[in-house]
Amino acid sequence: MIKLRLRDMVLAGAGLVFLGWAVLPPSSLALDESCVPHGGPPSLSAALFPETFWERQLAAVLEERDDLLARPARRARIDAQIRSEASAIEGRMDRLNREQGRIDDRAEKERHDMAEQSARLKRVAWLMGCEGEIRQRLAR
């Protein structure tokens, strides 16, 4: 009888801990394309703790947006470092490559860079839209 009660209490305690964990506002981004909570636990958390949930989502949006906006500067620093270290190797490789191969590689690299930049800018635009919606929710 005591073992049965102890087991039931442990299971109930574990269930409550899990429920508490599931409804706590997430610190990572938990929004879908429409800037609303994505999935069950984030939706439940937004309903139970709206101010904390939206404050944490705003922090996550701002952090990701700042990271995406800082990528070109970081990338430029890394590219400059790579260029300075690899200038001798590039000279040898240029002599070995045929002209057409270099043109194709450059065009492919430019297409890749443009696609990457486009995706990054779309994400930044979405994050900025979500930031505005979150700030409106917090102002209410």
At 31, give phi and psi (nearest 5°).
-115, 150
Q: How far apart are CA 38 and CA 41, in angstroms?
A: 8
User: Could you tell me how far CA 14 lies from the centroid of its own chain?
Assistant: 31
Mean pLDDT along residues 2-12: 76
> What is residue 1's predicted lDDT score, i.e. its pLDDT?
66
Number of domains in the chain: 1
Which domain does 54 fall in, by range? 2-139
The more confidently predicted of residues 99 and 5 is 5
Q: How far apart are CA 114 and CA 121, in angstroms?
A: 10
Most confident of 7-16, 82-91, 95-104, 115-124: 115-124
At residue 112 the predicted structure's pLDDT band, cuts being 50, 70 and 90, is confident
Span 29-69, pLDDT tens digits = 888 889 889 887 888 888 888 898 899 999 999 999 998 88
Grouping H, G, I as helix, E, B as strand and the rest as coil, residue 74 is helix
The more confidently predicted of residues 67 and 99 is 67
Mean pLDDT along residues 108-113: 82
